[in-house]
């Protein structure tokens, strides 16, 4: 019963996520003029990542579908490929890491907008910058999660049938260090950098507003403060 409830909840969440993000993509398609800077391109990339993740949650075994919904391929190479890419949940795991790093790119974009306003327009509209900031999270996600795919393989049971299983690693210092580095790379590093970026933005905003006055005419510092807020929130 618990598995049915969990599967139903995952199915509902996936459908809602899929529908919402498809609407976002449609909006960007209709407003292509928005896709001329890094910020909006990263928002589109984040929506695409969420769409693919939602589709995976709906079709992969062990989420909305039962774990044994699919039969393993009979061909050895196809069977290993199935275990590595499908059964291991490699794609949704990789996409979750990609989403985190896309959020980091968004934080960097906002940081430049606040701290380097004179160069932001050139920075955010550069095709090379946009391509780099959009592609790097995908490379990071699928690269960091490679071990997830490599640690899944097929195993022959006593009755002659095959099942997928995860490779058990020993507790050697090398494996412990590799696991720790992967844990840091999968999300902790990006989260720390995002915290630093948003902390720096808050400090900059506070410094911009500390000299504001109560005059009916806005001072230079007040104008600078309002422009800083606008750079953070503008599309």
- For the stretch 113-138, pLDDT in tens is 888 888 888 888 888 999 999 999 99
65-74, 99-108, 147-156, 220-229: segment of lowest average pLDDT: 220-229
Average pLDDT score over residue span 224-232: 56
- Given a cut of 70, whether residue 220 has pLDDT beyond it is no
The H or E element containing residue 23 is: helix 2-30
Average pLDDT score over residue span 168-177: 85
* pLDDT at position 213: 47
* Residues whose CB is less than 8 angstroms from the CB of residue 63 and which lie 6 or more positions away in sequence, other chains included: 7, 10, 14, 56, 57, 92
Higher pLDDT, 144 or 218: 144
Average pLDDT score over residue span 95-106: 96
* pLDDT at position 192: 96
- Given a cut of 80, whether residue 107 has pLDDT beyond it is yes
DSSP for 39-74, please give it. Answer: HHHHHHHHHHHHHHHHHHHHHSBTTTB-TTSSPPPS
- Given a cut of 70, whether residue 209 has pLDDT beyond it is no
- Given a cut of 60, whether residue 225 has pLDDT beyond it is no
Q: How far apart are CA 228 and CA 212, in angstroms?
A: 14
Cβ–Cβ < 8 Å for 62, 92: no
What tokens were used for 175? 């494996």
Average pLDDT score over residue span 7-19: 93
* pLDDT at position 104: 96
What residues pair up with 152 in beta bridges, in sequence order?
166
Other CB atoms within 10 A of residue 47 CB: 21
pTM (two decimals): 0.85
Secondary structure of 90-138 as H, E, C letters: HHHHHHHHHHHHHHHHHHHHHHHHHHCHHHHHHHHCCHHHHHHHHHHHH
- Given a cut of 90, whether residue 93 has pLDDT beyond it is yes
Give the homologous superfamily in CATH for domain 1-212. Answer: Rhodopsin 7-helix transmembrane proteins (1.20.1070.10)
- DSSP classification of residue 163: E
| Domain coordinates in residue numbering, the chain | 1-212
């Amino acid at each position: 019963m618990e598995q049915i409830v969990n599967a139903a909840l995952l199915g509902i969440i996936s459908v809602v996520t899929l529908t919402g993000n498809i609407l976002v993509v449609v909006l960007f398609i209709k407003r292509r003029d928005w896709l001329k800077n890094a910020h909006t391109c990263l928002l589109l990339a984040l929506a695409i990542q969420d769409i693919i993740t939602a589709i995976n949650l709906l079709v992969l075994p062990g989420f909305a579908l039962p774990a044994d919904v699919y039969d393993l391929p009979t061909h050895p190479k196809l069977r290993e490929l199935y275990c590595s890419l499908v059964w291991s949940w490699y794609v949704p795991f990789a996409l979750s890491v990609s989403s985190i790093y896309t959020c980091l790119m968004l934080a960097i974009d906002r940081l430049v907008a606040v701290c380097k306003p004179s160069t932001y327009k050139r920075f955010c509209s550069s095709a090379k910058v946009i391509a780099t900031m959009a592609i790097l999270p995908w490379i990071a996600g699928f690269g960091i999660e490679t071990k997830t795919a490599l640690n899944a393989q097929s195993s022959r049971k006593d009755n002659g049938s095959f099942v997928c299983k995860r490779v058990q690693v020993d507790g050697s210092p090398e494996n412990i260090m590799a696991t720790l580095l992967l844990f840091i790379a999968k999300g902790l590093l990006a989260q720390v950098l995002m915290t630093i970026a948003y902390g720096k933005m808050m400090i900059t905003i506070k410094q911009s507003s500390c000299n504001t006055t109560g005059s009916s005419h806005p001072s230079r510092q007040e104008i600078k403060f309002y422009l800083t807020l606008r750079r953070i929130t503008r599309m």
